[in-house]
Chain A
Amino acid sequence: MKVSRRDLLLGTAGLTAGIFFTPVPWKVLDDVSIWTQNWAWIPQPPRGPVTTKLAACTLCPSGCSLRVRMAGGFPVGVSGSPAHPLTKGALCPLGFAAHQLNWHPARLQEVRHQGRAASWEEARSAFEKACAEGPIAIVDGRSGRAASIVLQSFAAKHKASYDALRNAEEKSLAPYAKWANVSVSSLGYDLENVRTIVSFGAPLLDGWGVPGRFTHLWAERAAGESDPQLRLIQIEPKLSRTASGAWRWIPICQGSEELLAASLASVLIEEHLVPAQGPVPPASVTDAASQTGLTPAAIRELARAIVDRKPVLCISDGESPAIAALNLLLGAVGTPGGILPKSGHPLPMPPASANDKPLRAVLIDSTVPWEYVAPEGAEAFRFAAWDGGGSRAEWLLPAPGFLEELSDLPSPPTCAVATYAVAPNLLSTSAQTKTAAEFLLQIDPTLPAIDQTIRARCEEIFRARRGTVHAAKPASIASFESAAKLEQALRDGGVWLDDPPAHSPLKCSLREWPGNSGNRAPANWATTWAQPVLPPLAAKLYQESSLRETPQRSQS
């Protein structure tokens, strides 16, 4: 029989009617929705048990203790460890997303020579050649580590110069070190006992020093109080975060800090607010007033306010002898609540040997910030885990990333009590990466290996029988039966904190009032991090909120 058009029509009608009495439309509708809930191209977190490990952050000299949550062999979360005696569990914003840094697009994956892929062998032979021809310099961004010892001793053996760069906090301590003829790393601020802090532009509440150390003190003793136990006087041209949180904000003209310090000193002497000692500052209040933009009355009022509550401590942003001299006058050097020498064992620190001959090559450790520019004409061997935009270097050598390197952490800058901790390598390094120390150790195996140095230092601490190891619960050194046990405790995330210093007074002799130094370095993470290397989630602060102004350096 012939199927007519109408039959087909009716057949289709039947089909359509029928299909609604089957699971097809309903199940497909449901499944399609489920499909949209589990799109294959959207990554889902790993399954499996989560374990927590203690570690230490090596992104900056502060060496905060971390609690790292691990799943499937990878870090899935970072938070501060409350056991740390200084940070008390605080971290900087970068720390909380640091576990993602190893997958940052700017991560260096391979040796690069003049922008082209190269091999470690080539890098090594090139460096050995440079060493042979000489002179070379080795630049270390964070001296005093076990790795620094390797760099130092290599420099010593191969007639290279060893330069240890200092960050702004360390620079602010440099004058006292010079006058007392001790090493900068052996000095620190006794913030815990201060009652008045006069900050000349130091970003005390914005990434200064060890995260949490000062902010905790400020929060407990100052925040929002009209008459706080801890008075913070911020002298700074612009309204910074620190200025906003300060007890008093004194806006002055750019660059007139040291003149103001001098004039304050003269007022203090003139009004007998301090015992007259040391050189008399040349500054007169009136011309200080004209240059700082303050009235003479305001300067005098400020001087009185400073000494109203003692002990008082002045902190400069970067190196500033004039402000250091003011501290001397205020008697804030070598006394509690002032600048104190660390007791315990300040690590040996050779002076940065100046080299007059033009450098043949320079080896730059991964701890050196990207702002550092290699001397003209020197072949630069730049170690780094991430490319911070400094492709100026001849050689880019991939260094281990976050939690990938066994390292140790000597006392952080500004800390008045000696500490020591070990940063374990929770993650295995890829074969492609090497630290500068490893690189040099391969060239000269006689250098002291990292773990040997760590062991030696643990034995040193163990022998000295001073201080406490802060872990889950604090344990005094005396309670350890062997140096090996101590080392294990530190490798498991413990932090050794020396006993409070037995006050060995700090002798600073100063002939005349120092002149303006001028140099001043911004010091907090918001401005010193080259933006391409921010953890992507920290970059949200700049990109997806108006909380922070993008750092000027981000243009590079």
Chain B
Amino acid sequence: MSARYGMVIDLDRCTGCGACMVACAAENNVPPLPARATDRTGLTPMLVHKVNNGLEGAGRREAFIPIACMHCANETPCVSVCPQQAVEVDKATGIVMQIPQRCLGCRYCMTACPYHARYFNWWDPSWPPGMEKTLNPGVATRMRGVVEKCNLCHARLHTAMEKAAAAGKKEIEMTDYIPACVEACPTNAIQFGDLANPDDPASQAAHSPETFRLLARLGTEPKIYYKSRQPWVRALAERSASGHATEGQHV
């Protein structure tokens, strides 16, 4: 079996509530950071960007673009650059994964990622006293000085695999493997599934003509697909580069 897990995100359905970001952080034991941390030094494996159509007045519209690791399938930029094989595309699942215990923190992969979906642990993780009791058993905490990113809630895949093995099955039930952000979305804007399986609804949605991918022309074949019926959102997301269409919020 060789799955290719991916997502289709309906940007029209995203209200920018942020539930996916919080659920992701809780599932993956992402620590709350010191007060000095900003949107540039934060740890947000799932990050929702707020964008607008650049107009003022009644014509102005805003939209929200959730961005996690795109799990690029071709020439995966972060994999080839890592000097010590801390990044790898998993053969069985197509998940691009980061092994913090192997990582030496050179951050070369971060410069290589066009989606800025990789995050560096600038601080040692710490929780208010007692809160470590609420950490998710499936996921090891990271240490300072290493890179981390979305791994499609791999811990949940482990649980599903164990369940399947215990039941004597080789394949997992897709209902047992749903990433935290997908589960959390209050409008079901995120479809998750095995893009290699033609019967999978997510795969059908992904390969339908109205989907598009960010920076597709770089040729890295990302496995996170987007769709939107609003022309300006498509135009913005599909256009490769230009800083003009955004609010100066990231600085």
Contacts and interface: CB of A to CB of B under 8 A. Distances in A.
Direct A–B contact in complex, judged by CB atoms less than 8 Å apart: yes
B22 A538 contact: yes
A537 B22 contact: yes
A131 to B, nearest CB: 36
B208 interface: no
Contact of A93 (B10, B17, B228): B17
B140 to A, nearest CB: 6
Given A100-B131, A544-B33, A219 B189 contact: yes
A69 B38 CA distance: 30
Contacts of B126: 43
A37 B22 contact: no
A36 B143 contact: yes
B32 A74 contact: no
Contact of A77 (B26, B33, B42): B26
For this complex, into which size category does the number of interface residues on chain B fall?
35 or more
Contacts of B61: 239, 244, 249
> By CB atoms of chain A within 10 A, which of B43, B134, B143 has the most?
B134
Given A104-B128, A212-B186, A251-B58, A541 B22 contact: yes
Contact of B39 (A207, A245, A544): A544
A415 B134 CA distance: 33
A42 B125 contact: yes
A211 interface: yes
Interface in A359-404: none
A223 B62 CA distance: 13
Contacts of B22: 93-94, 96-97, 535, 537-538, 540-541
A43 B136 CA distance: 11
Interface in B1-30: 10-13, 15-19, 21-23, 25-27, 29-30
A224 B115 CA distance: 25
A540 B139 CA distance: 20
Contacts of A224: 10-13, 228-230
B183 interface: yes
A545 B39 contact: yes
Contact of A103 (B35, B133, B250): B133
Contacts of B132: 43-45
A540 B25 contact: yes
B127 interface: yes
Interface stretch (B44-52, B69-77, B199-207): B44-52
A93 B26 CA distance: 11
Contact of B42 (A42, A75, A206, A544): A544
Interface string A82-120: 000000011111111101101111000000000000000
A103 B19 contact: no
Contacts of A311: none
Contacts of A218: 187
B161 interface: no
A93 B21 contact: yes
B50 A547 contact: yes
Given A45-B29, A219-B187, A547-B48, A245 B137 contact: no
A177 to B, nearest CB: 29
Contacts of B25: 97, 537, 540
A90 B35 CA distance: 30
Contact of A545 (B48, B63, B143, B230): B48
Contacts of A205: 15
Interface stretch (A46-54, A272-280, A416-424, A460-468): A46-54
A149 B12 CA distance: 44
Interface in A244-289: 244-245, 249-251
A481 B57 CA distance: 61
B249 interface: yes
B128 A103 contact: yes
A553 interface: no
Overall SS of chain B's interface: loop
A183 interface: no
A540 B30 CA distance: 10
A74 B12 CA distance: 37
B135 interface: yes
A196 interface: no
Given A91-B184, A537-B25, A546-B250, A39 B143 contact: yes
A43 B127 contact: yes
B244 interface: no
Contacts of B189: 219
A537 B229 CA distance: 32
A546 B143 contact: no
Contacts of B19: 90-93, 95-96
B101 interface: yes
A205 B13 CA distance: 11
A223 B10 contact: yes
A71 interface: yes
B211 interface: no
Interface string A133-177: 000000000000000000000000000000000000000000000
B93 interface: no
B136 A77 contact: yes
B134 A79 contact: no
Interface in B108-128: 124-128
B119 to A, nearest CB: 10
Given A43-B127, A205-B15, A249-B58, A540 B21 contact: yes
Contact of B57 (A241, A251, A544): A251
A215 to B, nearest CB: 5
B245 to A, nearest CB: 15
A355 interface: no
Nearest to B42: A544
Contacts of B249: 546
Nearest to B124: A42
Contacts of B127: 43, 100, 103, 536
Given A37-B143, A79-B180, 13 more contacts: A39-B124, A43-B126, A43-B127, A44-B135, A46-B133, A97-B22, A219-B189, A223-B13, A537-B22, A540-B33, A544-B44, A546-B39, A547-B48
19 contacts: A43-B132, A47-B137, A72-B133, A90-B19, A92-B17, A92-B19, A93-B22, A95-B19, A97-B25, A100-B134, A224-B11, A224-B13, A241-B62, A244-B61, A244-B62, A540-B21, A543-B33, A546-B50, A547-B48
